Amino acid sequence: MKCPFCGHLETQVVETRIAEDGDFIRRRRQCGACEKRFTTYERPDVSFPAIAKKDGRRIDYERAKLLASFNLALRKRPVSTDQIDSAIERIEEKLLNLGLREVPSSRIGELVMRELKKLDKVAYIRFASVYRSFEDIDDFKTLVDEVRR
């Protein structure tokens, strides 16, 4: 594994831990040259379904895009990165369990909204207001009333 700090090609695994849910392995590594430490994550390589966009394009699934959506909605909210990672893992598990070659982007949006609703009501409203393209304040009020119930 190449050191992210100095680019040296030899690093040593100092510590290995399996995640609580067993879905990935976390490894602490130390560079043989600069002696700095860093963390790597080992996950199974699986094929996610393609994402069918509203305009008809097909794109590959990217975890980074999903993470960016969560981070934007949860900006300055009291939600840990572990909670975000768990939510994304639940979404990925659902996508894999569908067994489809292609999933509409709207389905992923609904999965994100469901997870955000569990994590943080404010983030849920933020995401839903953009995702559902609210036209007026009444749409927004309806969503807030739904969350209050």
Q: How many structural domains comprise the chain?
A: 2
pLDDT digits (tens, 9 = 90+) for 53-105: 989 999 999 999 999 999 999 999 999 999 999 999 999 999 999 889 999 99
pLDDT of residue 104: 94
On whether both 104 and 123 belong to a single domain, the answer is yes
- SS3 label, residue 9: coil
Q: For residue 61, with 0-12 CB atoms within 10 Å meaning exposed, 13-18 middle and 19 or more buried, which class applies?
A: middle
- SS3 label, residue 22: coil
On whether both 38 and 54 belong to a single domain, the answer is no
On whether both 131 and 68 belong to a single domain, the answer is yes
Structural domain including 99 reads 50-143
The size of the chain, in residues, is 149
Does residue 6 lie within any of the structural domains? no
Does residue 1 lie within any of the structural domains? no
Query: How far are the Cα atoms of 70, 77, 80, 115 from residue 74, in angstroms, in the given order?
Result: 6, 5, 10, 12
Does residue 76 lie within any of the structural domains? yes
Whole-structure pTM over 0.85, yes or no? Answer: no
On whether both 61 and 128 belong to a single domain, the answer is yes
Beta strands in the chain (DSSP E): 11-18, 25-31, 37-42, 50-52, 58-59, 102-104
On whether both 55 and 114 belong to a single domain, the answer is yes
Does residue 62 lie within any of the structural domains? yes
**Considering only CA atoms, which of 76, 90, 88, 89 is closest in space to residue 120?**
76
On whether both 25 and 94 belong to a single domain, the answer is no
End-to-end CA separation in angstroms for the chain: 50
pLDDT of residue 49: 93
Query: pLDDT category, 149, cuts 50, 70, 90?
Result: confident
